[in-house]
A and B are shown apart, each in its own frame.
Chain A
């Protein structure tokens, strides 16, 4: 943004283009001030809701010319502030791109607009015996465009992969307004794998305007097995035993005592309250395959001292067993006024040690923590309980969270498995990556967006920011600490897992 005159001229052009789909009034702009990470708020300069690809192109051309930042937004359910607006920028909502354009039952693919919700794809093809595999827990609301931006996972990615494994082709608009395609309807595409690079790029490289996803046949049979253990260690050890013995579950989830108790009190599905650790294992395949896997799994569970095993094969029963797990976040949310959801990934073999260390951190910081996570992937979601109204608790929760993320890096893991960096974890990027690696990321950004108008300031910290962050860490004075994003998550009615 250069001068006020430029601003007025851009506003005039955008009004001509979008009419009443341009939002400038304070009350309606405020609707867009945050995504799922509500602790980070910023009212955008203006909001536009284009309806066609040509409009998106024209908006980008105008903004590029005026050097005005553009932040793309799907449903705004992201948990790391990736869609937090820019105060001098355009918030580009893709909400009106909500049509499923084509379902191809021969080639098992669907071509959809980016504002289509994740669940809407599976809903639209279920009658054909097909589904779209990645299933982030916010799937009822989150959009496929947002899923691409975050490379979203879900409970079934152990077997079916992340968004990047299930998207064949993207249509994008460049920061200069050019329309182009990456990937292909086949299996190869020429040159570098730009499709891989664009997944998880958090709206920094291009505006996704169309997505072609891979569909899969719905498995003939599904079973859910619930197993309870006397210790978290035994539950964690069993996770490794299951996988090392050749079973590849569709999902493998774990909850600790506090999460089990909270979930049971909330939805009352018969989870054993005396258990310290609970595993939920979903198996799918042909009838014969599922039967075979259940038998194999039972032996492993017995050998690993499961104190209770329940097997559900019909749909209602399965739903029952999943219900507690799916309700775990809101259930834990009832235990304290606020909670802070973390998202680190660790090697599975470190599970027991990391959980033990998190318990120690919990004592050190004087805050409770409930653990609910994708055990099969080693993707942790510790929920730190705190009360924002009590003096010092926010800071303690933040410090606790930072300790967990640092621990994830220490044991060879990562600061984010599926929620993205956004603004929330931008400082931890300085710990996970070397200055050279961060510079390379900036180089990638420049290759796509030389003028740096797409979602500036997100996902990759500048080296000077890292230097500042490092300096801040030298001080132990709490007031000097940076504000890594805190919870107070929006859409508390949405399932989160």
Chain B
């Protein structure tokens, strides 16, 4: 297992030299995500050994962590100090690493109210597809020197470089949170979410799951006590509420189980796209989940908004499998140009984000 940047760098430089593709591995909790990489052609490069907290400055609201560090370890260190990662990344099977959190760019229930992974990334040290190491961004809150490459790496699924360490902004933890639930239609649930947000309630989560709406409030005891009066619905027992949001972000609710593909559609919260087919709605209405739908959602709505989140197990590795995301036009060209800049040999996780591997 590689434990030094130099060694990781040398490994990539060698692979570049020999035009040998590499598959970047972390905790493996999100191995389903993205287009399938032809693993039989790739050697794997394991980042789990490059782990540990580099710097935690509680009063700076900043933590700098090596990519192989377990998300659970970071979250528990922050919790001991009354802080948190506000973007609540999913753990999935529980082995998630910070490098994977940033490379996947997935955020949890608080995202519409507190921001996404990339909103909290201050800096990233990474190695490009030639084995060259870079430090982009930094550990400070405001930094406009040079292009914002570190935020661009969020969600790049390892195609632009191997993330070595990450500096994140953290926030104080909420004193308390409270979850409320009520039975309603998806249309009315979204209208309720939007109304509550406009009223300035301290929302930290909103979801609709098969006929039931859920919201979470977070803040000081006083604030929550005061806000409670403005919310209809039944207050869930605290442990039950915590469990619900955990299960939602880790996709462990029964609705996510079973055969068939899981699709994620990202739209304007108030949009009526796919409302009647989505089983789960999150983020105030902005994300709709479709489990095993009768029709490919890309045929039913703007295909750019649709992500094939978990492919049907039977279709994986089939040469005709549907791409992870749909890119077109100038945006596709820019993505390909950037891939060529960061990974000129197309050896890093080739195609995992950008299905059509550019021909070099």
Choose among B160, B200, B222 the residue that contacts A192 (Cβ–Cβ < 8 A): B160
How many residue pairs bridge A and B at CB < 8 Å? 255
Query: Could you mark each residue 400-441 of chain A with 1 if its beta carbon is under 8 Å from any beta carbon of chain B, else 0?
Result: 000000000000111111111100010011001110110011
The residue on A at minimum CB distance from B264 is A188
B179 at the interface (CB under 8 A from A): no
Given A191-B331, A193-B154, A197-B151, A420:B62 Cβ within 8 A:
no
The residue on B at minimum CB distance from A434 is B134
List chain B residues, Cβ under 8 A from A412: 138-140
B223 at the interface (CB under 8 A from A): yes
Shortest CB-to-CB span from A417 to chain B, Å, is 4
B60 A187 Cβ-Cβ under 8 A: no
A196 B118 Cβ-Cβ under 8 A: yes
Given A187-B112, A243-B61, A348-B59, A193:B147 Cβ within 8 A:
no
A378 at the interface (CB under 8 A from B): yes
A302 at the interface (CB under 8 A from B): no
A289 B223 Cβ-Cβ under 8 A: yes
B41 at the interface (CB under 8 A from A): no
B20 at the interface (CB under 8 A from A): no
* Bound: A405/B59 CA distance, A: 23
A129 at the interface (CB under 8 A from B): yes
- B143-174 interface (Cβ within 8 A of A): 143-149, 151-152, 154-156, 160, 171-173
List chain A residues, Cβ under 8 A from B17: none
List chain B residues, Cβ under 8 A from A445: 147
* Bound: A346/B62 CA distance, A: 12
A77 at the interface (CB under 8 A from B): no
Number of interface residues of B (CB under 8 A): 83
A432 B152 Cβ-Cβ under 8 A: no
Q: Which of B111, B135, B330 counts the most chain A CB atoms within 10 A?
A: B330
The residue on A at minimum CB distance from B219 is A289
List chain A residues, Cβ under 8 A from B135: 437
- B56-78 interface (Cβ within 8 A of A): 57-62
B145 A415 Cβ-Cβ under 8 A: yes
The residue on B at minimum CB distance from A286 is B223
Choose among B147, B307, B335 the residue that contacts A201 (Cβ–Cβ < 8 A): B147
Choose among B58, B128, B143 the residue that contacts A414 (Cβ–Cβ < 8 A): B143
Q: Which of B60, B140, B271 counts the most chain A CB atoms within 10 A?
A: B140
A192 B338 Cβ-Cβ under 8 A: yes
* Bound: A30/B287 CA distance, A: 50
Give the bracket for the number of chain A residues in contact with chain B: 35 or more
A292 B223 Cβ-Cβ under 8 A: yes
Q: Which of A188, A374, A413, A434 counts the most chain B CB atoms within 10 A?
A: A188
List chain A residues, Cβ under 8 A from B140: 345-347, 377-378, 412-414, 417
Choose among B133, B139, B145, B354 the residue that contacts A191 (Cβ–Cβ < 8 A): B354
A52 at the interface (CB under 8 A from B): no
Tell me which of B90-98, B234-242, B321-329 binds A. Answer: B321-329
B116 at the interface (CB under 8 A from A): yes
Choose among A205, A243, A440 the residue that contacts B341 (Cβ–Cβ < 8 A): A440
List chain A residues, Cβ under 8 A from B172: 246-248
* Bound: A184/B271 CA distance, A: 13
* Bound: A157/B327 CA distance, A: 32
Given A219-B200, A246-B172, A416:B115 Cβ within 8 A:
no
A379 B142 Cβ-Cβ under 8 A: yes
B200 A217 Cβ-Cβ under 8 A: yes
B220 at the interface (CB under 8 A from A): yes
B338 A421 Cβ-Cβ under 8 A: no
A342 at the interface (CB under 8 A from B): no
B338 A447 Cβ-Cβ under 8 A: yes
* Bound: A374/B143 CA distance, A: 13
B145 A193 Cβ-Cβ under 8 A: no
A288 B138 Cβ-Cβ under 8 A: no
B148 A199 Cβ-Cβ under 8 A: yes
* Bound: A419/B146 CA distance, A: 12
Query: Could you mark each residue 323-360 of chain B with 1 if its beta carbon is under 8 Å from any beta carbon of chain A, else 0?
Result: 00111011110110110111000000000011000000
Choose among A182, A184, A444 the residue that contacts B149 (Cβ–Cβ < 8 A): A444
Interface of B is mostly: mixed
Query: Could you mark each residue 308-323 of chain A with 1 if its beta carbon is under 8 Å from any beta carbon of chain B, else 0?
Result: 0000000000000000
Choose among B57, B111, B119, B147 the residue that contacts A444 (Cβ–Cβ < 8 A): B147
List chain A residues, Cβ under 8 A from B227: 286
- B271-320 interface (Cβ within 8 A of A): 271, 283, 286-287, 304-305, 307
Shortest CB-to-CB span from B6 to chain A, Å, is 15
List chain A residues, Cβ under 8 A from B225: 288
Given A174-B330, A180-B331, A345-B140, A220:B148 Cβ within 8 A:
no
A153 B142 Cβ-Cβ under 8 A: yes
* Bound: A239/B57 CA distance, A: 14
Q: Which of A191, A247, A376 counts the most chain B CB atoms within 10 A?
A: A191
B148 A217 Cβ-Cβ under 8 A: no
Choose among A182, A188, A286, A289 the residue that contacts B307 (Cβ–Cβ < 8 A): A188
A4 at the interface (CB under 8 A from B): no
List chain B residues, Cβ under 8 A from A241: 59
* Bound: A108/B133 CA distance, A: 40
Shortest CB-to-CB span from B308 to chain A, Å, is 11
B151 A196 Cβ-Cβ under 8 A: yes
Choose among B132, B148, B330 the residue that contacts A197 (Cβ–Cβ < 8 A): B148
List chain B residues, Cβ under 8 A from A441: 146-147, 149
Given A158-B141, A190-B307, A164:B151 Cβ within 8 A:
yes
B155 A289 Cβ-Cβ under 8 A: no
Choose among B59, B268, B283 the residue that contacts A243 (Cβ–Cβ < 8 A): B59
A145 at the interface (CB under 8 A from B): no
A189 at the interface (CB under 8 A from B): yes
A190 B134 Cβ-Cβ under 8 A: no
A182 B331 Cβ-Cβ under 8 A: yes
Given A186-B287, A220-B200, A194:B59 Cβ within 8 A:
no
B287 A187 Cβ-Cβ under 8 A: yes
Given A189-B304, A288-B222, A440:B149 Cβ within 8 A:
yes
Tell me which of B44-52, B191-199, B207-215, B250-258 binds A. Answer: B191-199
- A423-475 interface (Cβ within 8 A of B): 425, 428-429, 432-434, 436-437, 440-441, 443-448, 459-460
A490 at the interface (CB under 8 A from B): no
A150 at the interface (CB under 8 A from B): yes
A108 B147 Cβ-Cβ under 8 A: no
B144 A285 Cβ-Cβ under 8 A: no
Shortest CB-to-CB span from A316 to chain B, Å, is 22
Query: Could you mark each residue 92-128 of chain A with 1 if its beta carbon is under 8 Å from any beta carbon of chain B, else 0?
Result: 0000000000001111110000000000000000000
Shortest CB-to-CB span from A281 to chain B, Å, is 15
A421 B59 Cβ-Cβ under 8 A: no
B59 A157 Cβ-Cβ under 8 A: no
B233 at the interface (CB under 8 A from A): no
List chain B residues, Cβ under 8 A from A205: 147
Choose among A162, A180, A244, A460 the residue that contacts B59 (Cβ–Cβ < 8 A): A244
B144 A292 Cβ-Cβ under 8 A: no
B60 A345 Cβ-Cβ under 8 A: no
Q: A243-B60, A446-B341 are in contact. List 14 more A-B contacts (CB 8 A).
A: A106-B194, A106-B270, A180-B330, A187-B116, A190-B307, A286-B200, A289-B220, A378-B60, A378-B142, A412-B140, A416-B143, A417-B142, A440-B132, A444-B341
What are 27 A-B interface contacts by the 8 Å CB criterion? A108-B197, A129-B198, A153-B142, A157-B142, A161-B119, A182-B331, A185-B268, A187-B112, A187-B116, A187-B287, A191-B353, A192-B152, A192-B160, A200-B144, A201-B148, A285-B202, A285-B219, A288-B223, A347-B62, A414-B138, A417-B144, A418-B142, A433-B146, A440-B342, A444-B338, A445-B147, A447-B337
The 10 closest A-B pairs by CB, nearest first: A244-B59, A196-B151, A447-B337, A180-B330, A188-B266, A190-B325, A443-B341, A417-B142, A246-B172, A186-B266
